[in-house]
């Protein structure tokens, strides 16, 4: 059967992808960031999961405000990098696992989560930057990917509790899939940041630190943070953090945090990375 071995949280800051794509990783600004990421890359290279479920948000690349889906799952065989206004990133096409994705879609919908099923979807920095963070610049991505896309852009975004419970349902789907594969789930986006408006540039490292600690020790304590609190404490894009709660909900109650790295600022955000392993 499929086995969920771990969850990873990482920001999806587009400038990280741009630094890699344009060969700037040795520059002083970037060097310390990539040094901080390296242990997570080493962990990934050692664990070699066959499939990554990547919980992310689209930034008006595949979707627009014409149709807003709260939760969507990509079931295609492949997902091309999206053109984000300056051409697609020069990274490999993302390979899906259609049979597994359909199994998860079926399991979630029969488990009362109304997923939108996506047969064709380009994927933007929200998904490709986390892959770049974890895998550097391979000729092909080393894992198959199941994209789970969450609306964190347009009010009303889903609550933290709803996201956590979706994670639990994803876990039930993984546990009941009949292939002997190792699976990692990634929660992406965050941490605190605000890209526009009067408060552009908001970063709240205290909030983020408490939140990361709670992710390890007591996720229940952060499930009821309201949208308004995310906006006030972590900036208007800080609410991307609810996607990490989907990842956490899929894990065991007790996890080992095997790695954490944060840096402030990266671009306009607080960069955060955590690797949480299930204990057995």
Which parts of this chain interact with ligand DHB (CB under 6 A)?
12-15, 59, 193, 195, 237, 267-269
Residue from 12, 8, 9 nearest 193 by CA: 12
CB 15, min distance to ligand DHB, A: 6
CB 267, min distance to ligand DHB, A: 3
Question: Of the two residues 43 and 261, which places its CB atom closer to ligand DHB in the complex?
Answer: 261
CB 79, min distance to ligand DHB, A: 18
Catalytic residue list contains 125: yes
At 262 the three-state DSSP class reads strand
Question: Of the two residues 116 and 268, which places its CB atom closer to ligand DHB in the complex?
Answer: 268
Q: Which of 97, 103, 193, 270 is catalytic?
A: 193
What is the C-alpha to C-alpha distance for residues 163 and 225, in angstroms, rounded to an integer? 12
Question: Of the two residues 4 and 152, which places its CB atom closer to ligand DHB in the complex?
Answer: 152
Backbone CA torsion sign across 213, 166, 81, 134: positive
CB 206, min distance to ligand DHB, A: 19
Which residue has tokens 């199994």?
103
How far separated are the first and last CA of the chain, in Å rounded? 14
Catalytic residue list contains 59: no
103-136 exposure pattern, b = at least 16 Cβ within 10 A, e = fewer: bbbebbeeeebebbebeebbbbbbbbbbbbbbbe
Q: At 167, list the tokens.
A: 């994670």
CB 52, min distance to ligand DHB, A: 19
Cα dihedral 245, 246, 252, 257, rounded to 10, equals -50
Residue from 141, 157, 149, 173 nearest 250 by CA: 173
Q: Residue 200 phi/psi, 5° resolution?
A: -50, 135
Question: Of the two residues 58 and 277, which places its CB atom closer to ligand DHB in the complex?
Answer: 58
List C-alpha distances in Å: 266 to 92, 107, 112, 235, 249: 24, 38, 38, 15, 27
Question: Of the two residues 59 and 161, which places its CB atom closer to ligand DHB in the complex?
Answer: 59
CB 183, min distance to ligand DHB, A: 25
Question: Of the two residues 64 and 119, which places its CB atom closer to ligand DHB in the complex?
Answer: 64
Side-chain-side CA neighbours of residue 189 (13 Å): 30
Residues designated as active site: 125, 193
């Amino acid at each position: 059967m499929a086995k969920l071995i771990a969850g990873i949280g990482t920001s999806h800051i587009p400038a990280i992808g741009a630094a890699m794509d344009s060969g700037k990783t040795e520059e002083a600004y970037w060097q310390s960031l990539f040094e901080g990421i390296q242990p997570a890359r080493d962990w990934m290279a050692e664990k070699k999961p066959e499939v990554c479920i990547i919980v992310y948000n689209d930034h008006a690349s595949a979707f627009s405000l014409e149709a807003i889906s709260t939760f969507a799952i990509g079931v295609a065989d492949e997902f091309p990098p999206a053109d984000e206004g300056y051409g697609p990133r020069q990274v490999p096409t993302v390979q899906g696992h259609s049979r597994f994705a359909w199994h998860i879609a079926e399991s979630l919908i029969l488990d009362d989560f109304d997923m939108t099923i996506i047969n064709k979807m380009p994927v933007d920095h929200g998904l490709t930057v986390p892959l770049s963070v974890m895998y550097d610049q391979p000729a092909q991505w080393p894992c198959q990917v199941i994209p789970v896309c969450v609306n964190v852009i347009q009010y009303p975004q889903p609550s933290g509790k709803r996201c956590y419970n979706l994670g639990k349902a994803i876990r039930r789907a993984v546990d009941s899939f009949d292939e002997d594969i190792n699976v990692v789930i990634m929660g992406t986006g965050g941490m605190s940041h605000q890209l526009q408006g009067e408060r552009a540039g908001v970063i709240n490292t205290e909030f983020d630190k408490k939140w990361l600690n709670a992710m390890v020790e007591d996720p229940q304590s952060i499930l009821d943070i309201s949208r308004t609190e995310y906006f006030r404490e972590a900036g208007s894009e800080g609410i991307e953090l609810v996607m990490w709660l989907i990842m956490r909900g899929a894990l065991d109650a007790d996890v080992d945090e095997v790695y954490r790295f944060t840096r402030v600022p990266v671009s306009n955000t607080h960069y955060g990375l955590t690797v949480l392993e299930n204990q057995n």
